[in-house]
């Protein structure tokens, strides 16, 4: 660092601007006349004083008492003057003749030369400031280049997304031509009959499925949005939109929200949907009859004292020992599947109706009742309810139930299997219970470690305090805590047996 400092002084003075630095030989012979001239030049340019001031500053910073201790770091035990001579004598001898050295001395003894010597510290500061400024300029240039690359990548993805929507628009028109000018119930129906691959149904920026407006036909206005980016995060500041007539357009997020407000809501997206209500009520009646028969068999088994540990609710899977309840599930598998399909249809075809969240919740609740005692080889049956729970939590931030809970409680009590009202009646209670169902399904599925299960239940307790779902989650946490304690105690007994 010291060598660099002394070298910078020489650079500023202008003595070594055109030097070609080569390894210096300390033993190189220099004439006495030339040595005298070089020594005078070193003194007149203040190199020694600059070095002494520099080392004095280091001593002050490091708290070293006077004694040239910091000099030894640079000169390896040599005197400062000797170290300077070893550097400068060969340097000047190699690059200047005696006559040139005399000319340099004459210059530095002149008024202009003395002024240059006095300016050396200031020139060093200016040089450092310029270096710093150049570093900042280079850093800014790097950032701008990187920003330009990112913007170019975003533009490319936005263009690919718009091309996807145009292809979807062409395929929708083909579908409508084959189906009396009606568009499909979902974009998934386009694959594989109209699309070789389904990757164009997702935005390339985030690989997220597009939002599809259900219930539209070719008779609707051509300026009606039918497919668009599901999230503004796909492209950062706006969304691509496909319209009924097949044209596409880019909208900034604020303009996009204004566009959606002007779109007339199709009948399938209306909260008041007679079709959805009619289908829900008829399916719910069938569902309650099915559950009534199932739980009647369960209650009879309990009364008869049968062992429940070997039983399972399977919907068609063979077990070593079948009870009447299991035989009922096997023989009525098609009936249960019809119930599932009808509730799923309400959610898929009438997503904005006031019956969509009801249908999905009843379906989740039904799966929970039928799959409490799953054997390990039936874990795949849990994929469907896990998916339903996640869709419910994602799409229904403020769920609200109609009058079916009262019907379920009344029917259940009449059949003798319902002891207390456990159906949630507020958005917070509903979401807490669905989240609890999701956690239990994941635990049964075995997708998560014990610690992850703990974390899921703790999240429910924290986010939904005072709800029934939170109370159930706390029961699980307490049970897991007791189980761990018991396991530790058993382990300690095995490791340290009592004599």
CA distance 381 to 444: 10
**CA torsion, ordered 114, 120, 122, 128, to nearest 10 deg:** 160
Cβ contact 46:115 at 8 Å: no
**CA torsion, ordered 282, 283, 289, 291, to nearest 10 deg:** -160
CA distance 149 to 275: 51
Burial of 209 (0-12, 13-18, 19+ CB in 10 A): middle
Instruction: Tell me how long the chain is.
Output: 499
CA distance 73 to 54: 13
**Residues facing 249 on adjacent strands:** 241
Cβ contact 290:365 at 8 Å: no
**CA torsion, ordered 449, 455, 457, 462, to nearest 10 deg:** 180
What is the structure's pLDDT at 450? 57
Cβ contact 238:232 at 8 Å: yes
The two tokens of residue 405 are 């809970």
Phi, psi (deg, nearest 5) at residue 225: -65, 140
Phi, psi (deg, nearest 5) at residue 318: -75, 145
Cβ contact 426:464 at 8 Å: no
CA distance 93 to 351: 91
CA distance 86 to 88: 6
Count CB-CB contacts under 10 A for residue 294.
20
**Residues facing 182 on adjacent strands:** 217
CA end-to-end span of the chain: 72
Give the global pTM: 0.45
Cβ contact 396:357 at 8 Å: yes
* Residue 401 CB contacts under 8 Å (≥ 6 apart), including other chains: 357, 358, 361, 423, 424, 425, 430
Nearest CA-CA partner of 389 in 442, 339, 315: 442
What is the structure's pLDDT at 490? 79
- DSSP three-state, residue 396: coil
Nearest CA-CA partner of 316 in 337, 346, 343: 337
Nearest CA-CA partner of 349 in 233, 496, 183: 183
DSSP run (H or E) holding 243: strand 238-243
Tens place of pLDDT per residue across the chain (499 aa): 444 444 443 433 333 333 333 334 443 578 888 888 888 888 888 777 766 666 665 555 555 555 544 444 444 445 677 777 888 888 888 888 988 888 888 888 888 888 877 776 666 666 666 777 777 887 888 788 877 887 888 888 889 999 999 999 999 999 988 888 889 988 988 988 888 888 889 999 888 889 888 878 888 888 889 999 988 888 888 999 999 988 999 999 889 988 887 665 554 455 557 788 888 888 888 888 888 888 788 777 777 764 444 444 444 444 445 677 778 878 888 888 888 888 888 888 787 788 888 888 888 888 877 764 444 444 556 778 888 888 888 888 888 777 667 666 666 666 555 444 456 778 888 898 888 888 888 887 765 555 666 788 889 999 999 888 889 888 888 888 888 888 888 777 766 554 4
Give me the residue spans of the domains in the chain. 2-109, 152-264, 274-447
Place of tokens 């539209």: 216
What is the structure's pLDDT at 250? 92
Cβ contact 47:10 at 8 Å: yes
């Amino acid at each position: 660092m010291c060598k660099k400092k002394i070298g910078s002084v020489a650079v500023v003075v202008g003595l070594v601007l055109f030097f070609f630095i080569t390894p210096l030989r300390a033993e190189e012979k220099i004439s006495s006349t030339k040595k005298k001239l070089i020594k005078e030049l070193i003194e007149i340019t203040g190199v020694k004083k600059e070095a002494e001031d520099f080392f004095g500053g280091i001593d002050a910073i490091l708290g070293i008492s006077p004694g040239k201790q910091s000099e030894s770091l640079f000169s390896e035990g040599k005197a400062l003057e000797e170290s300077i001579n070893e550097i400068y004598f060969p340097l000047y001898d190699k690059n200047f003749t005696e006559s040139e050295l005399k000319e340099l001395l004459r210059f530095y003894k002149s008024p202009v030369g003395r002024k240059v010597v006095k300016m050396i510290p200031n020139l060093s500061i200016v040089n450092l400031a310029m270096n710093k400024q150049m570093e900042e300029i280079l850093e800014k240039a790097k950032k701008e280049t990187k920003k330009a690359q990112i913007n170019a990548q975003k533009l490319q993805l936005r263009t690919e997304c718009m091309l996807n929507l145009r292809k979807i628009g062409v395929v929708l028109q083909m579908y409508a031509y084959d189906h009396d000018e009606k568009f499909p119930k979902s974009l998934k129906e386009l694959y594989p009959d109209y699309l070789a691959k389904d990757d164009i149904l997702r935005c390339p920026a985030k690989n997220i499925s597009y939002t599809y407006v259900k219930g539209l036909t070719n008779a609707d206005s051509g300026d009606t949005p039918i497919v668009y980016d599901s999230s503004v995060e796909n492209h950062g500041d706006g969304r691509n939109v496909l319209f009924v007539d097949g044209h596409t357009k880019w909208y900034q997020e604020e303009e996009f929200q204004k566009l959606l407000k002007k779109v007339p809501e199709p009948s399938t997206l209306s909260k008041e949907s007679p079709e959805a209500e009619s289908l829900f009520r008829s399916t719910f009646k069938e569902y309650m009859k099915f559950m009534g028969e199932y739980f009647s068999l369960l209650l009879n088994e309990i009364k008869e004292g049968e062992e429940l540990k070997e039983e399972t609710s399977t919907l068609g899977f063979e077990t070593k020992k079948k009870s009447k309840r299991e035989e009922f599930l096997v023989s009525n598998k098609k009936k249960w599947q019809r119930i599932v399909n009808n509730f799923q249809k309400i959610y898929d075809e009438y997503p904005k109706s006031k019956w969509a969240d009801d249908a999905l919740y009843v379906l989740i609740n039904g799966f929970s009742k039928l799959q409490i005692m799953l054997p390990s080889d039936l874990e795949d049956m849990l994929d469907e309810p896990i998916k339903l729970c996640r869709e419910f939590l994602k799409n229904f931030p403020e769920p609200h139930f109609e009058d079916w809970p009262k019907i379920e409680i009344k029917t259940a009590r009449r059949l003798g299997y319902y002891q207390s009202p456990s159906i949630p009646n507020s958005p917070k209670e509903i979401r807490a219970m669905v989240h609890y169902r999701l956690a239990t399904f994941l635990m049964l599925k075995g997708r998560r470690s014990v610690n992850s299960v703990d974390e899921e239940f703790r999240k429910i307790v924290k986010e939904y305090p005072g709800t029934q779902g939170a109370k159930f989650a706390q029961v699980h946490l307490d049970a897991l805590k007791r189980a761990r304690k018991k396991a530790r105690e058993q382990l300690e007994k095995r490791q340290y047996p009592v004599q």
